Structure 1
């Protein structure tokens, strides 16, 4: 185990990681609230012993997040909602 893994495994660090993930999930759910049941598809998942992911578990997650071409009404590009990006305060 290297130094980074040891530090990441410290109880205080894990509490902060978990707290940060819950905060991102709460923000994402708030941003998704105006889009039907989408907020219910946002989850916090532990990935291995140290990491936590906030995920949008929806069959159209990629299209919802980043956008897609409307094939039904043929109206062109439908912009993504960027809920996960905005919740995590990331920029493109």
Structure 2
């Protein structure tokens, strides 16, 4: 089930969030891994893994991070909130 916050996201942001799950699913299929096998590698339940592929925003960030790590896609995870990519004009 989607969170209330997900419903409040601007459309452009919602599409980006949804694309994460889609990309994870494509990566898993590219590797010819089953959902069960991938969930086991990630040490999460099959239900949680399915929610990741469905871009469920109630799933913990740690679960998404682990899935990305197992798929070999976590290299740039540290750039998500890196100060050098902060586009805020205000300075304090």
Pairwise TM-score range, normalised by the shorter structure: 0.3 to 0.5
Greater RCO, CA 8 A, separation 6+ = 2
Pair member with larger Rg: 1
Q: TM-score, normalised by structure 1?
A: 0.37
TM-score by length of 2: 0.37
Instruction: Tell me which protein shows more strand as a share of its residues.
Output: 1
Structure in which a larger fraction of residues adopt helix? 2
